[in-house]
Amino acid sequence: MVNKSFLIILLLFTGFSQACAGNRSDNGNSAASTVVEIEQDEYWWFGVVNHGDLMPLTAGYEANIDGFIYGNQAQPLLLSSKGRYIWSDEPFNIQVDEKRIHLNNQSGEFIIRKPGSTLREAYLAVSREYFPPTGTMPDAALFLQPQYNTWIELLYDQNQEDVLKYAHAIVENGLPPGVMMIDDNWQRAYGDWEFRAERFADPKAMVDELHDMGFKVMMWVCPFISPDTEVYRDLRDRGLLLTDQSGDPKIVSWWNGQSALLDLTVPEAGEWFRGRLDYLVEAYGVDGFKLDAGDPEYYVDVIASEDVSPNVHSELFAEIGLHYPLNEYRATWKMGNQPLAQRLRDKGHSWDDLRTLIPHILTSGLSGYAFTCPDMIGGGLMGSFINLEKVDQELMVRSAQTHAFMPMMQFSVAPWRVLNQENFDATKKAIEMRAQFVPRIMELAEEAAASGEPIVRYMEYVFPGNGYETVSDQFMLGNDILVAPVLQPGVTEREILIPPGSWMGDDGSVFDGPAAISRNVTIEDIPFYTRVP
């Protein structure tokens, strides 16, 4: 006969085990789920950069970062204004209601901790534990001067003559030389990383001329391999391509057609890719690479040498960039605090997209991606600047001003081509303003490499407990510079929240905070305030 006391103990133990299953899965191999109660006046941020404008989270929010990261960087991380964090080594889906956060994944556990009482304390604790800073940062050239990308001006007609014309026009129009990124279609084929002879008669001479002018040169590359090429056949025969269920190379559809993919779970595939990039460095003097694509959705339903998730395939592609200090990525997974330059995903030429720059780059910082570029000034979507009558000149100026106080700024469309003299002068003034703060930006980048602290910070991050949780139209550059760009068309007055302390504006005004002020602005104004010691 079974002892009743034993049954009671067994039932209690079973109930306790089931309750704990939400936080930890058995051996990390079974599905895990958990429900987190939202405390009163508690706000949460999620590590999906392209959802920054949806932060902090509100009821009705849902997302799935298993095989999809919304076209930008992501971390399996949630942070709370009350000092809590949630981490999972594996991708998961999330649903939020009025009182709870529901989390589910297929093969891991959810780690919930409360290391402090503020957003900053939660971030620093989780970053030290799960994505610690490396002490290194991307090449300083990415921060010191504006970057220039040939995409909008040349689109798929990348060629030596027009690249050099663009570079000379930059200097002739009074803009400082910086990093020059030569975009897609300079190569013979995807995977055949050699200059197209019919478009680049002497690429070494081109790179040398750009160097002489003061530019560093980056080339666009991706992990795709064009089918029916010699490179494709060679990689296929060596077993370095991902396959489908039949054993044939998997052909995926992406924005430029259909291609095969390197199997980076095989070390030899990564060595082959780096070898091609090293060749460009050695043969032509190329300085670095814009490593595009690599999003997890391209790796769904593939057969690899090693069975890993689509997100891990994306992570393996991101690791290629660690070999090149001059790099840029748009889509990465779990690469927080690595010395990689991260770009916000392509924005449209619209005021709505301009307004996403601040919350997106703020979310990027909270995800461990401090070294971030806020996409191309005025927008980077192809077709936005073909009809000059549709170009919003005021939007271009305000976009440049917003970039000026961020870690990096990048031009693609030539501002002298699309702006009248007044607005072009206002754009150049924004560049000159940035130059004054570059030393501070560099200090913050070095601090980020050492500590993991974001360069661009939420007001809530710096001034907790002041009701700034939902403020995302102004930001802190470090702890001592408040920036409030103009983000609406036709604005002549800007409302600004002044945080605690004494602050001096760029117009000479001094305010003691916390306070809400109203300030008159012109097309040339980028309102900012510096903490008075």
pLDDT digit string, tens, across residues 457-489: 999 999 999 999 999 999 999 999 999 999 999
| Residue type present at position 455 | I
Q: Any idea what DSSP says for residue 175?
A: P
H helix runs in 296-420, sequence order: 310-320, 351-366, 393-404, 415-418
User: Where does residue 473 rank: exposed (0-12), middle (13-18), buried (19+ CB within 10 A)?
Assistant: middle
Give me the pLDDT at residue 31, please.
Answer: 74
What tens digit of pLDDT does each residue of 253-310 get?
999 999 999 999 999 999 999 999 999 999 999 999 999 999 999 999 999 999 999 9
CA-closest candidate to residue 91, choices 383, 302, 378, 295: 295
H helix runs in 131-246, sequence order: 141-144, 151-154, 160-172, 203-212, 230-237
H helix runs in 24-65, sequence order: none
Whether the link from the prior residue into 454 is cis, omega within 30° of 0, is no
Domains of the chain: 4-130 (2.60.40), 141-221+268-292+308-451 (3.20.20.80), 456-531 (2.60.40.1180)
- CA 368 – CA 124 distance, rounded (Å): 9
- Please report where in the chains the tokens 């661009």 appear, as a residue: 456
- CA 449 – CA 1 distance, rounded (Å): 66
Cα 92 from chain centre: 20
pLDDT band, very low/low/confident/very high, at 7 (cuts 50, 70, 90): very low
What tens digit of pLDDT does each residue of 157-167 get?
999 999 999 99
Give me the pLDDT at residue 29, please.
Answer: 41
What tens digit of pLDDT does each residue of 332-371 get?
999 999 999 999 999 999 999 999 999 999 999 999 999 9
pLDDT band, very low/low/confident/very high, at 382 (cuts 50, 70, 90): confident
Q: Are 77 and 87 in contact (CB under 8 A)?
A: yes
- CA 222 – CA 228 distance, rounded (Å): 17
